[in-house]
Structure 1
Amino acid sequence: MNLITPAPWSDYELIDSGDFQKLERFGTFVLARPEPQAIWKKSLSDEEWGRRTNALFRRDRQSPERGDWQTTPDMRDPWYVSFRQGGLNLTFKLALTSFKHVGLFPEQADNWTYIYDKVTEMSSNGSGAVAQPNVLNLFAYTGGASLAARQAGAAVTHVDAVKPVISWARENMDHSELDNIRWVVEDATKFVRREVRRGNRYNGIIMDPPAYGRGPDGEKWVLEEHLGDLLRSCADLLDREDFFFIINLYSLGFSSLILENLIRQTFGQVPNAEWGELFMKDSDQKRLPLGVFYRFASVPLSMSERVDE
């Protein structure tokens, strides 16, 4: 099993975590948000948290998910951050949403560089065998993975069931000075099944399925019930010669061992496999787990910070 965290980047910092919260810097602004896995104590005092925080998320007592933000007068909404590592030079719009999210999951940065490397290595401009790799991003949200694949030169199809999220991802594409991503507002399972019927293939498939969700026509998604079927369809879509595959899960209690079993049962023996947990490290070196992942590729793994346990 691997524990993977992104290399440090200037526009993001996990300052502290604990007491079911996390204190993060995005660009020049510091946010305090709920974090159910931070069950330990904070390293910094409540006074220090209050002094640093520009935006504090408070949950609505009537809803386990929604809430609102208390902000300082100098807090901007929206605002922008950059990600520059390796060959990637991306710009993201951030905003304070009622679901505590801001449009960016920093723990995914290692996957962005992984995607960039895989697309580059398999494409002809990187001395690979594919003229232009074809990449599918499912449950694609605001598009960090889509942007990484596109900047490496891939033809990218970005699928999400929520139209405003697609619009947000398109803004990120424009701010990153990219173009020609294919946008699809549709239920992921429906889209994949149709692509299988059409005989299409993708060199890269990326997915970040939620625990629960609804498609644009009311289609129901329950992770435990529907993930297996979606993975089997993706196995039919994935190119047999030049390929990579990434799945991330944020559902609490969903072990990476479950993912390992599902992948082995669905794809068989896969090359260059990595699986385990993504985490971010705060300034006191506490490691905050932020989801499980499984990824494999036809080309060797690129180097990233990892701990084998």
Structure 2
Amino acid sequence: MKESILSLAPQHWEEYELIDTGGFEKLEKFGKYILSRPEPQAIWDKSMNADEWKELVHAHFSKEKNNPEKGQWEEMAKMPHNWQMNYQNPDGLKMTLNLAMTSFKHIGLFPEQAVNWDYISDTLKLFPIKTPKVLNLFAYTGAASIASKACGADVTHLDSVKQVVTWSKHNMESSGQEGIRWIVDDAMKFIRREVRRGNKYHGIILDPPAYGRGPDGEKWILEEQINEMLKLCSDLLEPDHHFLILNMYSLSFSSMIAANLIHSNFGKVENAEHGELYLVDRFKKNLPLGIFFRFRKL
């Protein structure tokens, strides 16, 4: 069966916009508020000048000199520290997500992932199992978990950071959902236990960082551990009806690497798609924001 190689950009955002990119920064509208943040892939020139950016922006994130992973927000205009955004697609998926400015430049939302929320919704609406079991690993603030739950799945949501899981619960409640199973644990330790227990899932969502730490200081390095993780996931995935979504953000990775990882651990898969996720700014510049591989058997 032929494998599709795609570049995917979200089509259904009403409250998000990528306004401009360039000079290693991006200017984004999240609901009512406009933020500027560092973006290592935006190596081209900005389309707007500095005064035009400054006129629009509510808050700007500056990295620490000695720690590029952390920094601080400078507010240029009055705005709340916490606010909400809504997402809705034509198939009826609705979510209300809570946003906040963190010291790691993130705000609780990766808007390019909307294409995968739509894929989850579309897949589960067609699924022949009444209550499919879905495992969301490295689940962050839980939009994929909420999308799965909204379509009737029995969802297990795992992240290593307790505060992020609390944030996810808030998103679930704001979205009018309930009953997600929350786990604070190291992802590798958890799935090893699940394999030993003989547990199976109809859907697995993996969105691992390039680097990370478990709740007890366990080290995660994408290049060193993703192959073993996918090998374990192949034991966890139900053979007859299933889907899997893999996202990776390492700048050194291509979707061909994702394809090799999937095929070496899962063999031949049905309805496979892989490629880049990206966003488009007002000036038609495409900003790549990660790679994906996904497949499903209904």
Check whether TM > 0.5.
yes
Q: Structure 1: which amino acid aligns with 2:26? A: K
Q: Which residue of 2 aligns with 1:304?
A: none
What SS does the aligned partner of 2:239 have?
coil
Report SS of the residue matched to 1:49. Answer: helix
Counterpart in the other structure of 1:99 = 104
Q: TM-score, normalised by structure 1?
A: 0.94
Aligned to 1:227: 226
Q: List structure 1 runs of 4+ shifted beyond 3 angstroms.
A: none
Matches within 5 A, 1:89-128: 89-122=94-127, 128=128
Counterpart residue number, 2:85 = 81
Structure 1 position 34 matched with structure 2 position 42? no
What is the identity, as a one-letter code, of the residue corresponding to 1:96? M
Q: Which residue of 63, 69, 75 corresponds with 1:65? A: 69
Determine the structure 2 residue equivalent to 1:206.
Answer: 205
Write the mapping of 1:249-260 to structure 2, written as runs, cut at 5 A: 249-260=248-259
Report the secondary structure of 2:261's partner residue: helix
8 Å contact kept, 2:57–2:77: no
Letter in 2 for 1:84: Q
Structure 1: runs of 5+ lacking an equivalent: 123-127, 300-309
Residue 33 of structure 1 aligns to a residue in which SS?
strand
Identity %: 53
- CA–CA distance in 1 between the matches of 2:130 and 2:255? 34
Equivalence for 2:191: 192
Shift of 1:233: 0.4
SS of equivalent residue, structure 1 residue 93: strand
Match of 2:47 in 1: 43
Q: Which amino acid is the alignment partner of residue 21 of structure 1?
A: E
SS in 2 for 1:278: strand
Q: What corresponds to 2:276 in structure 1?
A: 277
CA apart distance, 1:72: 3.1
Once residues 143 and 65 of structure 1 are traced to their aligned partners in structure 2, the CA distance between those partners, rounded to angstroms, is: 22
1:281-292 residue pairs with structure 2 within 5 A? 281-292=280-291
Deviation at 1:73, TM superposition (A): 4.1
**Number of the residue aligned with 1:239:** 238
Counterpart amino acid of 1:69? W
**For residues 66 and 84 of structure 1, what CA distance do their matches in structure 2 show?**
32
Residues 285 and 275 (structure 1 numbering): CA distance in 2 closer, same or farther, change over 3 Å?
A: same
Q: State whether residues 15 and 30 of structure 2, in contact with CA within 8 Å, keep that contact through their aligned partners in structure 1.
A: yes
Q: Measure the CA separation in 1 of the matches of 2:87 and 2:287.
A: 21
- Structure 2 CA distance for aligned equivalents of residues 292 and 51 of structure 1: 33
- Cα distance between partner residues in 2 of 1:8 and 1:45: 28
2-11 or 50-59: bigger deviation: 2-11
TM-score, L = length of structure 2 = 0.97
CA contact (8 A) 2:60 2:76 kept: no
The amino acid that maps onto 1:119 is L
C-alpha separation in 2, matches of 1:110 and 1:241 = 24
Letter in 2 for 1:70: E
Deviation at 1:41, TM superposition (A): 0.5
> 1:131, 1:27 → 2: CA distance?
35
Aligned residues: 293
Distance 2:252 2:43 in 1: 14
CA RMSD of aligned residues (A): 0.8
In structure 1, the residue matched to 2:11 is 7
The separation in 1 between residues aligned to 2:210 and 2:14, in whole angstroms, is: 31
Cα-to-partner distance string for 1:94-143 (whole Å, 9 max, x where unaligned): 00000100000000001001001111211xxxxx2x12010000000000
Aligned match for 2:24, one of 20, 33, 56 = 20
CA contact (8 A) 2:18 2:282 kept: yes
Distance 2:123 2:143 in 1: 15
SS at match of 1:269: coil
Mapped to 2, the partners of 1:221 and 1:62 lie a distance apart of: 22
Residues 47-93 of structure 1: CA distance to partner in whole angstroms, max 9, x if unpaired? 11000000100111121111000113421110000001122110000
